[in-house]
Structure 1
Amino acid sequence: MKFPSTSDFLEEFGIEPVELDPSLALCRYKKKSENSELEIDVSFSAVMKSFQIMLRLATQELVVISSENVKSIELVRDNAGAGLHVVFEICDSISEARVTFEPEVSCRWWTLRNI
């Protein structure tokens, strides 16, 4: 599994992990929106090949999505913003997530069947 280091996150987004577990190669990050009370909570484990995201508004959880079989997690910065691109390989399907930290926090997640 390919994934960014804690120094990559610090250098690219200026955020440090709120949780680290070296035995699971687990990292967890939180990022608040600058213009609202929306917060994104992202965690991943290289050992478990898992990825989870939680969206909160103030203290209320709005969405929790998680999956195993992560192939890669890459830092991205383009016209759509800056964040993460996550690729999963699940049976005969490819699933992807785009988590945006800048300019505003958001998440898009999709699964497409291989034909």
Structure 2
Amino acid sequence: AAARDMGEAPYLHSTPDGYGVREADWLSPPAMAKRIRFAMGIAAGRTPLARADAVPDKPAQDASAPQKPAWATGEACAPDLATVYRLVGPLSPNTTAAAAQLQGKALIGFTLASPEFMRR
């Protein structure tokens, strides 16, 4: 749902070249607002993330039992700042200065909505 809300639903791009990855493709006020809401939802726990270690590696024994998709079988996890920093990579001096007064969930959301994350 989040990818659709941000205008990048899987398999729905009208041409085979995929969604744009240049800054001009995502740097607009509406696109940034959507990405910021998504990043803050992750930081606040409103957008759950599945734990990779909670996904089963084999199907249930009873083939007649309803099967959940792999992403729905694990516990939700919350991102921690160290993992977010590792994912995003080095922040520019401007981004670092802008984040100087933030902490906790606000800093995680800010980092996930940063230009550095958008360029990854």
TM-score range, shorter chain: under 0.3
Q: TM-score, normalised by structure 2?
A: 0.21
Higher RCO structure, 1 or 2 (CA under 8 Å, sep 6+): 2
**Which one has the bigger strand percentage?**
1
**Which one has the bigger helix percentage?**
2
Larger radius of gyration: 2
